[in-house]
Structures are given as C-alpha cells and as structure tokens.
Chain A
C-alpha cells in the first residue's frame, strides 16, 4: 500500500504520507483493491492539481493514452523505414520461383520511396491529398508482376503455386473471391505476397502478383518506445497545464481537441479489428492505420492545433500571474 502513495506528489507525501499510512492500518476489513483504486484516483487528482475534480483523471487518461498512441505510431513509422528497399528484380525472382511456367512480367515501376502516396514520395505537393480525404492512399510501395495473357489452365497453375509455396517454406492462406476469382496471401521472411487469379465471365484467367514488406521488428520496438515516451510526456504536459490554469476556455479547447484526436481512432480501430479478424495477415497493418491516420489527418491536425492553443494559453496564464505578483517599481 505504501507504493500507492507514489501517485501523490512528493511534497504531499512528505506531509501526509505517514498519516495516511497510519489510517490505512485500520482498514482491516476493506478490500485492498477498493483502497488501492481510491488512493490512485485521489493521488492522481492531487498530482494534477485538482483534488476536488471528479473528471480530471479521465481527461488526463484520454490525453495520455492518445499521446502514447500517436507517438507509438510515429515510433513505428520510424521503425518501418528500416525495411529493405524493394526492387523489380525481387518480384521477378519470386514470380519465377512460384509460377515458373507462367512467365509473369514485372508490371510496376521501381518504387521511388519505401512509402508513397499515389506512387510518389511524400512532399509538400502531397499536403492537399493527405489532408483533404485521400490520406488513406499513403502506404508502403510495392512491386508486382502479371501475366500478359489469359492462363490456359488456371486450376493447374493454382496447384503449382500451392506446391511451390509449400516447398519454398512460405506461409499462406487462400480465399475465394466471388466477385473476381481466387486470392492467395503468402509470407516468408521479409517478403509478403498477394497473388490473385482473376477470373472473367468469358472464362479467361489472369494472374497478378504483388509484393511488399511485412512489419520489421524495429517497428514494434519503435512503437513501444514511442508509446512510453508519448504517454509519459503527455501525462506530464497535461499535469503542467492542469496546475497552471482553471480557464473554462482551456477546458473547452481540451475537450474539442481530444474529440478530434479520438474520433479517427474510434472510427478506424473497429474496422481494422474486423478486417484483421476476417482474413489472415502475414503481418499486421501499420499502427497509424489503426488510428485512422493519415486517412483522417485533417481532424488530427485540427485537434493538435486546439491542444497546442490550450497549452499556450496555460503557459501565458502563469506568466500573467507572475507579472501581477512583481513588486511595483519605485
């Protein structure tokens, strides 16, 4: 129980700690969990400078977790930059390994960057696309190959593909797509494939092979480190602002800012869960997609602007108090 006092600020612990511990000794019949929750809640309220507030811990938690998640997304994005660059030759090599008789031809350009939007690396010219509804187009660049003409024996090609995938040590799953044909997802090491057998009404079948990279280990490392740094930083920042001002305007800015931060997450997260549960993935989608980014980057940016404004007003509020406290010259 002594450890739970660490949720209180140090000065408070020094003054009240022994007394609270003495009182705690008397609560013999009370559930330890109930006592712990009570001490954590009040300790955090005190630390956030609002011991009487019933909601400050909830606001702090929303801000802290959001900061953690967005920092984790950034950290994982940095980790994603460590993937090996893709080359057309790699797609040609894999196509030859898996479908040797089909003579698939590389049909994509050499990727200009690891992540692209509409085939181009991010740049100032991407701002419009990113902010105004096309942010979902941002993603990892891939290379691919396809058949030049209809396959003569698609069933036989599919059997060959399965056999070669097994022989080559690939993990894979197959899905029948009633709309267009048959799809195979496969992964091995740092290669992941999406191979589609398109079937057309007149019986012709075309094969397409797309390749990109699964999440590298450093994306997880970056995500975890990012979350920890973001959450700690977010909590400290919230506490700092919370202790500086009681302004209703700042509270409104905080409320709207957090709404714009959380709305994309609330919208995107269930969809991503459903998507991941509905079909096998050799590697999970990047973390930022789970947070609705950059598909919904405009609300995120708007929320960031409001929260930065709230922090700026909090900083100025303290400065004003200090100025008022200054001794009158002369």
Chain B
C-alpha cells in the first residue's frame, strides 16, 4: 500500500476508538494534531468518500438531531489493518530517527 496522507492517517485514527459523525471527526483530528490540521467540510467529505470507496471506513448509523441529519462513521476492518500498518511504519521511522539523533548528540565535557 502506498504511503498514507497525514489527513487520512488522522481521520482513521479519529475513528479507531469510537464511531463519530462528521464534525466529531473534525474535532478529534484537530485534537490529535494539536490544532495543526483543521479539516473543512468539503475536504472532510471528499476524504470520507475516498476512504469508503477504498473500504477503509464505513457508514455506521444515522440520527436526526434537532431536525438535522447526523451520519456516523466507523473504521472498517480493512481500515484497522491499514492504520496499524501505517502506524508501525511511522514508529519504525521514528525509532530509527531517534537512534541516529542519540548518536549525534554532543557529549558533555
């Protein structure tokens, strides 16, 4: 599988522990990235459509809250596998980078 975009990684991570509706995903992605990634609605639904087409996320249920439609999404089995693989890849890279940085750290006199 090709390298995952950051927004995709964050959306899948946001759905890893519980089902969420559109704005719930936006809030969780913002929290996970410490406010760095702010998904706008057009971007969010384009990403959800793409991820659904790839079998990474699924529609869970719909609710009508104060007369407004709220649709919830969950991580699909394939999405769980892909997220785990990407997480492992990033962890391996991060571990390698940390190891290199430790060897380069200047020794105290």
Contacts and interface: CB of A to CB of B under 8 A. Distances in A.
Interface of A: 16, 18-27, 30, 34-35, 38-43, 45-46, 51-52
Contacts of A26: 23, 26
Contacts, number: 59
Interface residues of B, number: 19
Interface stretch (B40-48, B79-87, B88-96): B40-48
If over half of A's interface residues share one DSSP class (helix, strand or loop), that class is named, otherwise mixed; here it is helix
Given A16-B45, A19-B22, A26-B23, A38 B40 contact: yes
A24 B26 CA distance: 11
Contacts of A34: 40
A52 B26 CA distance: 19
Residue with the greatest number of chain A CB neighbours at <10 A, chosen from B38, B42, B69, B71: B42
B70 A35 contact: no
B68 interface: yes
Given A18-B69, A25-B68, A38 B50 contact: no
Contact of B22 (A23, A35, A38, A39): A23
Contacts of B40: 27, 30, 34-35, 38-39
B49 interface: yes
Contacts of A51: 46, 49-50
A38 B68 contact: no
Contact of B46 (A18, A23, A46): A46
Interface in B54-84: 65, 68-71
Given A18-B68, A18-B69, A23 B41 contact: yes
A23 B44 contact: yes
Contact of B41 (A18, A27, A45, A52): A27
A41 B46 CA distance: 11
B22 A52 contact: no
The 4 lowest CB-CB distance pairs between A and B, nearest first, are: A42-B42, A23-B22, A38-B40, A18-B69
B42 A22 contact: no
A315 B69 CA distance: 39
Given A19-B22, A23-B23, A52-B50, A38 B69 contact: no
B45 A42 contact: yes
Residue with the greatest number of chain A CB neighbours at <10 A, chosen from B38, B44, B49, B65: B49
A42 B46 contact: yes
Contacts of A30: 38, 40
A42 B70 contact: no
Contacts of B26: 23, 26
A38 B49 contact: no
B68 A22 contact: yes
Contacts of A20: 22, 41, 45
Contact of A35 (B23, B41, B45, B46): B41
A38 B45 CA distance: 11
A48 B69 CA distance: 26
Contacts of B46: 42, 45-46, 51-52
B42 A19 contact: no
A52 B51 CA distance: 11
23 contacts: A19-B71, A20-B41, A23-B22, A23-B23, A23-B41, A26-B23, A27-B40, A30-B38, A30-B40, A35-B40, A35-B41, A38-B40, A38-B41, A38-B42, A39-B41, A39-B42, A41-B42, A42-B43, A42-B45, A42-B46, A46-B46, A51-B46, A51-B50
